[in-house]
Structure 1
Amino acid sequence: MIKKFNNKKTPMEALQLYLETLIAFTEKEKAVFLSLFSEIQLKKKEYFAIESEFSSKLAFISTGVMRAFFRNKSGNEYNKTFFTASQFVAAYAFITTRQQNVINIQCLTDCTLLIADFRQLTSLYTQYPKFESLARIMAEYKFAIKEKREIELVTIDAKERYTIFKKEHPDLENLINQYHIASYLGITPTQLSRIRSQKQKSLPM
């Protein structure tokens, strides 16, 4: 479901192309949907969503990398997932349950986003049923990714999780700090360094 598009495309063009991979909108439906979005820029370390707030924002990432993370009672941070170009991002706890957001979403690089209010989108479900179908597709995809990650964390070792991470996010290591990757994998930065060193040694000369 994650598609990468030509970087020369404008954010709106990239969103339009992405939508075409998910659902067949009429020209009118497409125009109405795109009209809900406006472009914003967020700097590295800025937050898109903060825990305990009520956020109905939905964003399409044109460029940049974001992370979703939570803090435990001791203040330690744990990365839940990463978001990259051509993905939707939102505080899904509020969108799906109308409860307070339970995670933080932060930019790990400068980001260009197309942002909309999810409440506006849902208000158009009756008039445009395909909007609801699209929201369901996105929710099902997020659930599948969440379930896959939870299973991986308890059934495979860190070295294999790192291999999967490299396959799914081949460019991220060059864009973000290693401790973010270690947190995502559920290991320490020292353990990640050891795994990377072992993999380098195993490569053919």
Structure 2
Amino acid sequence: MDGFFDYVNTISPISDKAFMALKPNLKFVELKKGEFFVKAGEIASTIGFLTNGLVRAFFLNQEGREYSKQFFMAPSIIGAYTSLLNKQPARIAQQALTDCEIVVLDYKKLEQAYENFHDLERLGRRVAESYFMEKEQKELEMALLDADKRYLILRERFPKIENLVPQYHIASYLGISPTQLSRIRRKLMHS
């Protein structure tokens, strides 16, 4: 649990008092590779701190084709944020791509703690701001950069991802086919 406290303090410092108020509500959960933190269609109720492992957020189109929206590599905050806020079924699933360790908090308990601890409320705002900036950055990359550059950015952001994730997940995240990804990788190896 100390890793959780240290991590959130890098985002926005919280007091020992605020942490002690949250601590009884924190649960340690292990997810095996392939298990879901959030399934599409269910209403999310928890937020998590990924202490170890890799999780992907993805959705299915009408034909059942998967699109990887995001990868979360420890340490990271995970959860179906939109579902938590609007109390509607999640449209984006979050699945463990490796065995994972997660510190989980009931979102209602966090919202209650916001009332008493403004430093927690500030932390929540900064997490939301961070996700907004990541989302905007990815949208700009998808619109403005070619697949080669997007691939290089992915490797920089997630240095070990290629050893952990099937290539079709990476291709889906980049918005390209697995065949295109193979060509890009071959080209970069020979340059």
Q: How would you bin the TM-score normalised by the shorter chain?
A: over 0.9
Give, in whole Å, the separation in 2 of the partners of 1:16 and 1:126: 19
Picking from 60, 64, 68, the partner of 1:79 is 68
Matched, 1:180 2:169: yes
After TM superposition, which residue ranges in structure 1, 4 or more long, deviate above 3 angstroms?
none
How much does 1:30 deviate? 1.8
Aligned to 1:39: 28
Aligned to 1:68: 57
Give, in whole Å, the separation in 2 of the partners of 1:36 and 1:159: 44
Give, in whole Å, the separation in 1 of the partners of 2:187 and 2:23: 47
Aligned to 1:166: 155
Kept in 1: contact 2:14–2:123 (CA 8 A) = no
User: Relative contact order, CA 8 A, sep 6+: which one is greater?
Assistant: 2
Picking from 127, 130, 136, the partner of 1:141 is 130
Kept in 1: contact 2:51–2:102 (CA 8 A) = yes
Give, in whole Å, the separation in 1 of the partners of 2:14 and 2:68: 35
CA displacement, residues 150-202 of structure 1 (integer Å, 9 cap, x when unaligned): 11111111001001101111111111111111110011111111101100000
Counting aligned pairs with the same residue, the percent is: 39
How much does 1:26 deviate? 2.2
Kept in 2: contact 1:93–1:100 (CA 8 A) = no
How much does 1:54 deviate? 0.7
Q: TM-score, normalised by structure 2?
A: 0.96
* Residue pairs, 1:1-205, within 5 angstroms: 12-202=1-191
How much does 1:38 deviate? 0.8
- Aligned residue for 1:187, secondary structure, equals coil
Q: Which sits farther off after the overlay, 156-165 or 26-35?
A: 26-35
Give, in whole Å, the separation in 1 of the partners of 2:128 and 2:14: 18
Give, in whole Å, the separation in 1 of the partners of 2:19 and 2:113: 13
Give, in whole Å, the separation in 1 of the partners of 2:22 and 2:8: 10
Gaps spanning 5+ residues in structure 1: where? Answer: 1-11
Aligned residues: 191
What RMSD in Å do the two structures reach over aligned CA positions? 1.1
How much does 1:96 deviate? 2.5
CA displacement, residues 109-167 of structure 1 (integer Å, 9 cap, x when unaligned): 11111111111100121211211111111111111101111111111110010011011
- Aligned residue for 2:40, secondary structure, equals coil
Gaps spanning 5+ residues in structure 2: where? Answer: none
Q: Which is helix-richer, 1 or 2? A: 2
CA displacement, residues 65-120 of structure 1 (integer Å, 9 cap, x when unaligned): 00000000000000000011110001011122222211111010111111111111
